A and B are shown apart, each in its own frame.
Chain A
Amino acid sequence: MDALLKLDTHLENRHAQLKALKDHGRKIIGFTAGGYFPEELALACDAEAICFIEAGNNTALMNAGGYTCRWFDPFWRSQIAYLTSGKDPYYNIADLIVVPVTDNHVRNFSNVLGYFTPEKESFVFGVPHVKDKIALDYYLKGITRLRNRLEEFTGKEITDARLKQSIDLCNRERELFRQISLLRKSGEYFIQGRDFIKLNHGSYLADKEFMIDILEMYLREIKETACHPKGGPSLLLTGSTLAHGDSKVMDIIEECGGNTVVEEFAECIRPYHETVDTEGNLMKNLAESYFMKRVCPGWFRPGTERLNLLIKLAKEYNVDGLIWYQLMFRESYKVESFFFPQMLKKEAGIPMFVVESEYDAMEAGPMRTRIETFIETIKR
């Protein structure tokens, strides 16, 4: 696919491009994964927004040992390692780091950010774990404070016109992701799971307008290419986090003849099902979309909204099985993995299988045995 090759080239040069922009006065806003930072706010004050989505390297994890305990989510330990290493190009280039605190793992990261790298400008705000009026107001206040900080930091006022323009841009990106994803539902097109993930990951670092061009190009290419759906079992892949650099589970699934046709992750996969309204109070609309409409991650109470979404996706995408990709020590997901298989079997009639990772190289063999067996089992 030319679109993917073009994206690769852009990403190879992206850091240099950001550096050049920074040298000319453009601010670089880095934000942590989780989907609660409205990128529109950064774009509306003419800043670049990049998300920290790299993980999967066990050596990096070891380097977090001086800042946090061993029993923590490996993705967030990786972020701590990259942040404190002083060697990560994207953490280094960010002028301001925005951290929407979604759970204790993210809070730990924000603590390290404050205590161990005080020279880094940061903005931390909380994300509630329930969806009600009070929680919505709290989130709205958080992003309003963020807006004020961004205006002050960049020296650019976020006018309604600029904000609307940014929302339109991000809506277009979300809409394109949705259209591409929906093609997988029809069964007429074959989109390799790892390609969809690549687009998703790329969108967190790429220039927004360039990314929209890439998505449009990819959509055209998929529609024009006579693709035959792959014969292997169709899978739904879910979990808390699917980081850039953590391709083990996707690779094994594809090597074993499985085909990921839909995925659901709280971190590092962009929520694209909902767009933001562009009429009325735009800040309220952002809060409504990013907090209320977006299906919540596993740490929300109650967790039924996400589980019901998984059942809905399993049915709509006509999957043969669900793989629950569990990062070790992400306990909110772990507890659900015990009871959800029964719920899924009852509601959607498909099996679920849990694989666990701590980004360890030695996991690959046993993980492959498990996934290969699961795929063999559902093939029959």
Chain B
Amino acid sequence: MLVAGIDIGAATAKAVVLKDSIISGYAIRPVGHDVKIAAHGVITEALKNTGLSITVDKLDYVLSTGYARNTIGFAHKSATEIICHAKGAHFLIPSTRFIIDMGGQDSKAIEVDSEGNCINFIMNDKCAAGTGRFLEVMANILEVESMSEMGPLALQSDEPCIISSTCTVFAETEIVVLRAQGKDRKDLIAGVHRASASRVHSMATGLRCVPDAVFTGGVAKNTGVKKYLEEEFGINFLVPPEPQIIGALGAALIAQTHTANISRD
């Protein structure tokens, strides 16, 4: 059985193709201005990466997730990204009991049971702090050319600056002030990472954060955020090999559980 999960997030579209419970191919690409074009593009690319000569209409089942989950015409069904992240993380790391997912626009903390079901969760509310967007804004002002440089630069600091504002706009102002005071760039970058992790930790207060904890989403590729999350939560976070596709993977796993005899929209 060949199924796919597609996750259309705020910044990137992700697709995973599963063949008999094994990841056969996946793809990640920017969403751009049109979610439908992004969805078609990413699923086509993921199918191409499987090495199989197959088109989307030949898939047995497609399940969509992410903000645009209800606009994907070729998907049979949709599920929320929270449910999908729980399934995806549990599939790769069956001992997963707690997840931090940090994406382009939001962050989530999810409690997971032994079956990979979400049992409790919390999402950031109307605030970019603690998301990929926060780090992007800060990278821009600190003139870090690539987001992949941010984490390693943060890890070089011995004395991270204190960024007290939880608002992205005010934090940007704070950075301007600290920069004018002559603070070292790497300390500023580390401060930004710590502030981001602190915001997520504060959001997750009230949830049971127990091992094994897994860090997913695009921001999970950032080693600096991982370090400060571990400091804030006081536990280690496991990062799957490609943390950005966990939502799409979960969607594909749920797709597998559905029967294929349902007509497409």
- Taking the closest CB of chain A, its distance from the CB of B70, in whole angstroms, is 9
- Taking the closest CB of chain B, its distance from the CB of A258, in whole angstroms, is 14
A-side contacts of B33, CB under 8 Å: none
From the candidates B79, B80, B81, B120, name the one contacting A351 in the complex (CB within 8 A).
Answer: B120
CA A338 to CA B203, docked complex, whole Å: 12
CA A31 to CA B8, docked complex, whole Å: 47
Q: Is B120 touching A365 in the complex (CB atoms < 8 A)?
A: no
CA A380 to CA B120, docked complex, whole Å: 13
Decide if B83 is an interface residue (CB 8 Å cutoff): yes
Beyond A373-B118, A377-B118, A380-B117, whether A356 also contacts B125 by CB under 8 A is yes
- Taking the closest CB of chain A, its distance from the CB of B257, in whole angstroms, is 13
From the candidates A365, A366, A369, A377, name the one contacting B119 in the complex (CB within 8 A).
Answer: A377
Instruction: Report the interface size for chain B: residues with CB under 8 A from the other chain.
Output: 16
Decide if A157 is an interface residue (CB 8 Å cutoff): no
From the candidates B80, B120, B126, B206, name the one contacting A372 in the complex (CB within 8 A).
Answer: B80
A-side contacts of B170, CB under 8 Å: none
Q: Is B80 touching A369 in the complex (CB atoms < 8 A)?
A: yes
B-side contacts of A365, CB under 8 Å: 67
Beyond A356-B125, A366-B106, whether A373 also contacts B82 by CB under 8 A is yes
Decide if B74 is an interface residue (CB 8 Å cutoff): no
- Taking the closest CB of chain B, its distance from the CB of A339, in whole angstroms, is 10
B-side contacts of A369, CB under 8 Å: 67, 80-82, 123
Decide if A294 is an interface residue (CB 8 Å cutoff): no
- Taking the closest CB of chain B, its distance from the CB of A363, in whole angstroms, is 7
Q: Is A373 touching B80 in the complex (CB atoms < 8 A)?
A: yes
- Taking the closest CB of chain B, its distance from the CB of A324, in whole angstroms, is 13
CA A363 to CA B120, docked complex, whole Å: 21
CA A376 to CA B79, docked complex, whole Å: 9
Decide if B233 is an interface residue (CB 8 Å cutoff): no
Q: Is B126 touching A363 in the complex (CB atoms < 8 A)?
A: yes
A-side contacts of B81, CB under 8 Å: 369
- Taking the closest CB of chain A, its distance from the CB of B166, in whole angstroms, is 15
From the candidates B117, B120, B123, name the one contacting A366 in the complex (CB within 8 A).
Answer: B123
Which B186-222 residues sit within 8 Å CB-CB of chain A?
206
Decide if B91 is an interface residue (CB 8 Å cutoff): no
B-side contacts of A351, CB under 8 Å: 120
Residues 327-357 of A, flagged 1 when their CB comes within 8 A of B and 0 if not, give 0000000000010010000000001000010
Centre residue among A338, A356, A365, A369 by max chain B CB count within 10 A: A369
Q: Is B123 touching A370 in the complex (CB atoms < 8 A)?
A: yes
From the candidates B67, B121, B125, B206, name the one contacting A373 in the complex (CB within 8 A).
Answer: B121
A-side contacts of B123, CB under 8 Å: 366, 369-370
Which B98-129 residues sit within 8 Å CB-CB of chain A?
106, 117-121, 123, 125-126
B-side contacts of A372, CB under 8 Å: 80
Which B78-95 residues sit within 8 Å CB-CB of chain A?
79-83
Q: Is B80 touching A376 in the complex (CB atoms < 8 A)?
A: yes
- Taking the closest CB of chain A, its distance from the CB of B35, in whole angstroms, is 12
- Taking the closest CB of chain B, its distance from the CB of A336, in whole angstroms, is 14
* Nearest-neighbor residue (CB-CB) of A380 within chain B: B117
CA A376 to CA B121, docked complex, whole Å: 12
- Taking the closest CB of chain A, its distance from the CB of B131, in whole angstroms, is 12
Which B151-173 residues sit within 8 Å CB-CB of chain A?
none
B-side contacts of A341, CB under 8 Å: 206
- Taking the closest CB of chain A, its distance from the CB of B221, in whole angstroms, is 23
- Taking the closest CB of chain B, its distance from the CB of A314, in whole angstroms, is 18
CA A351 to CA B119, docked complex, whole Å: 10
Q: Is B83 touching A373 in the complex (CB atoms < 8 A)?
A: yes
Q: Is B106 touching A376 in the complex (CB atoms < 8 A)?
A: no
- Taking the closest CB of chain B, its distance from the CB of A233, in whole angstroms, is 15
CA A376 to CA B120, docked complex, whole Å: 11
* Nearest-neighbor residue (CB-CB) of B118 within chain A: A377
CA A373 to CA B117, docked complex, whole Å: 11
- Taking the closest CB of chain A, its distance from the CB of B119, in whole angstroms, is 7
| 10 interchain pairs, CB-CB under 8 A | A341-B206, A351-B120, A358-B126, A369-B81, A369-B123, A372-B80, A373-B80, A373-B82, A377-B118, A377-B121
- New contact pairs (6) apart from A356-B125, A358-B126, A376-B79, CB-CB < 8 Å: A366-B106, A366-B123, A366-B125, A369-B67, A373-B118, A377-B121
For the complex of A and B, the 9 pairs showing the least CB-CB separation, nearest first, are A373-B82, A373-B80, A369-B80, A372-B80, A365-B67, A356-B125, A376-B83, A377-B118, A370-B123
